[in-house]
């Protein structure tokens, strides 16, 4: 499955809900709406946007706004803007058995984030690595 794509995001969301550590992290964090903009470059011709509505005990609901302006209209709790090259590098690390740290990327400002950083840091520290095994099981082909 190509990354990024609707197909890959749907497969990743389904895989995360089969991962006990990810389910526990979702339960503790609580309901949240998250937008991600994978920024063009490095082979990706245009930005890829996904909006995830995440609620404990329920399937993740994904939608795909046409651009970041449309994504922002939904007023998600969080929006992350990440360069495609960084997303690819982190996925490659995960697939190689390593443990990429998306929170570090946020703190080092390699990923721009809009939302409650304190809440994110609090929960991310307790659930470091949650979902990694699930993501490793999702086939990926980079654009």
The DSSP result for 31-70, as a single string, is SEEEEEEEESBTTB-S-EEEEEEE-TTS--EEE--SSHHH
pLDDT attached to residue 112: 97
- Residue 124 pLDDT > 90: no
3-state helix, strand, coil in the chain (%, to 5): 40, 25, 35
The whole-number average pLDDT for the span 68-94 is 97
pLDDT attached to residue 18: 95
| CATH number reported for the structural domain that contains residue 76 in this entry | 3.30.1050.10
> With the C-alpha atoms ordered 29, 31, 33, 38, is the resulting torsion angle positive or negative?
positive
Q: What are 123's two structure tokens? A: 């929960």
- Residue 142 pLDDT > 90: yes
Among the ranges given (15-19, 48-52, 64-68, 124-128), the one the predictor scored with the smallest mean pLDDT = 124-128
Say how far apart CA 122 and CA 108 lie, in whole Å. 17
pTM value is 0.94
pLDDT attached to residue 44: 96
What is the three-class DSSP state of 122? helix
Query: What total number of domains does the chain contain?
Result: 1
**Domain encompassing residue 55:** 2-142
């Amino acid at each position: 499955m190509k990354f990024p794509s609707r197909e890959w995001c749907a497969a990743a969301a389904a895989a995360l809900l089969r991962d006990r550590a990810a389910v526990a992290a979702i339960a503790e964090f609580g309901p949240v709406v998250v937008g991600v903009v994978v920024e063009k470059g490095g082979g990706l011709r245009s930005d890829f946007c996904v909006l995830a509505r995440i609620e404990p005990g329920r399937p993740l609901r994904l939608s795909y706004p046409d651009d970041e302006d449309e994504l922002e209209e939904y007023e998600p709790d969080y929006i992350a803007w990440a360069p495609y090259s960084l997303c690819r590098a982190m996925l490659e690390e995960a697939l190689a058995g390593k443990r990429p740290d998306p929170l570090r990327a946020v703190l080092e400002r390699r990923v721009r984030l809009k939302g409650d950083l304190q809440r994110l840091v609090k929960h991310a520290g307790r659930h470091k690595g949650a979902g990694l095994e699930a993501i490793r099981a999702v086939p990926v082909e980079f654009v």
